[in-house]
Amino acid sequence: MLVPLLVSYGQGTSFNDTASVYFQELRANTSLYKDLWNLNIYGPVLLVDPVSRKIYANLPDTAGTLELKEKIYTGQLPKSINIANTTISWNGRSWAMIMLPLPQNRQERLDLLSHELFHRSQPALGFHMSNTNNNHLDRRDGRIYLRLELEALRLALTAPTKSERYDHLANAIYFRKTRYSLFPVALSSENMMELNEGLAAYTGLMMSGRNDAETISYFEYKLTEFQKWPTFVRSFACLTTPVYGFILNLKDKTWNRQISDTTNLTSYFIRAFGLTVPVILCPDCLNKYGSEKIINEETKREEDRVK
């Protein structure tokens, strides 16, 4: 269902009605999905117009600077605060800040808002916020083995049998472990990003209201588009953890509540799926993931980068 904008988001206080609908929708949805983390992650939210810096909030600030108008708290964000989709501490509260306009599509909107509310709730859930350096994913071999992993995950999502799905998952982990052998620091740096951005993206996905078929279609589109992205350094975790997590959720809906801030997700997924990761893949196995095309494209990209 689409909730239509009553007016353009930048046009004065009349957006309050739309913001009120969005907050009511979000509050009901977080309550519906509270079992995902055994916690209702609903909390203070700031919707911010990046041009006017006007704030639309669901709760008052403790400093009393926000004004209640038509069920919404409004005010101006100080110029000293950067506007971004993030978590901030401001005027006595920890807020999930989201830039306007929000997606018109309800599923995309709930995905985004739930993603940022997870970040705000990370301390309560026992997960630290971290933004690690994954610059190896701008290198030729790092990109090749990430793209191969994601292609294996794409085929795992659409596999007609459980056996074929598990083969693709095992091969995806093979590509991941090969990447780690080439870039040993990646074992830690990628894992930290997946526990941070990856779990936030998984939370948004699972609280978006998409059914299984819609989720698979969503991933097919995202995984195909991702192959064309100019950099994977930060964005990779927004696909890897959600895809592994969604497939595992079909088997165990509580898996995410079994991990902690120190969990090695690669090892966890191997155990949880019961995978036997191959030692080496034959040329035919590599070809079904488009290895020749990926290698050629990444070799050309690297040559251009060096030039």
Count of domains observed in the chain? 2
> How many CB atoms sit inside 10 A of residue 202's CB?
27
Which of 31-35, 60-64, 128-132, 251-255 has the lowest average pLDDT? 128-132
- Do residues 173 and 71 share a domain? no
Average pLDDT value over all residues in the chain: 94
Provide the pLDDT for residue 301: 93
Q: Is the pLDDT of residue 37 over 90?
A: yes
Would you say residue 179 lies in a domain? Answer: yes
Q: Is the pLDDT of residue 226 over 90?
A: yes
3-class secondary-structure state, position 38: coil
- Do residues 65 and 196 share a domain? no
Q: Is the pLDDT of residue 108 over 90?
A: yes
- Do residues 82 and 113 share a domain? yes
For a pLDDT cut of 70, what percent of the chain falls above it?
A: 96
Q: Is the pLDDT of residue 80 over 80?
A: yes
Q: Please choose, from the candidates 194, 196, 148, 198, the residue with its C-alpha nearest in 3D space to the C-alpha of residue 173.
A: 148
Question: Does a cis peptide bond (omega within 30 degrees of 0) precede residue 230?
Answer: no
Residues in the chain: 307
Q: Is the pLDDT of residue 64 over 60?
A: yes
Would you say residue 5 lies in a domain? Answer: no
- Do residues 111 and 169 share a domain? no
- Do residues 96 and 166 share a domain? no
Provide the pLDDT for residue 284: 86
- Number of H-type helices and E-type strands within the chain: 11, 6
- Do residues 79 and 218 share a domain? no
pLDDT band at 149 (very low <50, low <70, confident <90, very high): very high
Would you say residue 140 lies in a domain? Answer: yes
Q: Please choose, from the candidates 203, 217, 212, the residue with its C-alpha nearest in 3D space to the C-alpha of residue 256.
A: 203
Q: Is the pLDDT of residue 287 over 60?
A: yes
- Do residues 258 and 160 share a domain? yes
Q: Answer with the one of 104, 125, 146 that is the final residue of a domain.
A: 125
Query: Mean pLDDT throughout 32-54?
Result: 98
Q: Is the pLDDT of residue 22 over 50?
A: yes
Q: Is the pLDDT of residue 299 over 90?
A: yes
Contact in structure between 265 and 278 (CB atoms under 8 Å): no
Q: Is the pLDDT of residue 227 over 70?
A: yes
- Do residues 39 and 177 share a domain? no
- Do residues 141 and 276 share a domain? yes
DSSP 73-109: EEEE--TTS--SSEEEEETTEEEEEEESSPPSSHHHH
Which of 26-40, 147-161, 223-237, 244-258 has the lowest average pLDDT? 223-237
Residues 6+ apart with CB under 8 A from 241: 194, 197, 198, 199, 201, 202, 265
- Do residues 289 and 211 share a domain? yes
Q: Answer with the one of 125, 150, 168 that is the final residue of a domain.
A: 125
Q: Is the pLDDT of residue 67 over 70?
A: yes
Would you say residue 81 lies in a domain? Answer: yes
Q: Answer with the one of 125, 157, 176 that is the final residue of a domain.
A: 125
Would you say residue 4 lies in a domain? Answer: no
- Do residues 145 and 286 share a domain? yes
- Do residues 110 and 144 share a domain? no
Query: Mean pLDDT throughout 271-287?
Result: 93
Provide the pLDDT for residue 136: 97
Q: Is the pLDDT of residue 6 over 70?
A: no
d(CA 126, CA 104): 32
Q: Is the pLDDT of residue 2 over 70?
A: no
Q: Please choose, from the candidates 303, 116, 134, 131, the residue with its C-alpha nearest in 3D space to the C-alpha of residue 231.
A: 134
Q: Is the pLDDT of residue 9 over 70?
A: no
Q: Is the pLDDT of residue 1 over 80?
A: no
Q: Is the pLDDT of residue 12 over 90?
A: no
- Residue range(s) defining the domain that contains residue 93: 12-125
Query: Mean pLDDT throughout 154-165?
Result: 97
Query: Mean pLDDT throughout 166-178?
Result: 98
Predicted model pTM: 0.94
DSSP 128-193: -------GGGGSHHHHHHHHHHHHHHHHHHT-SSHHHHHHHHHHHHHHHHHHHHHSTTHHHHHHHH
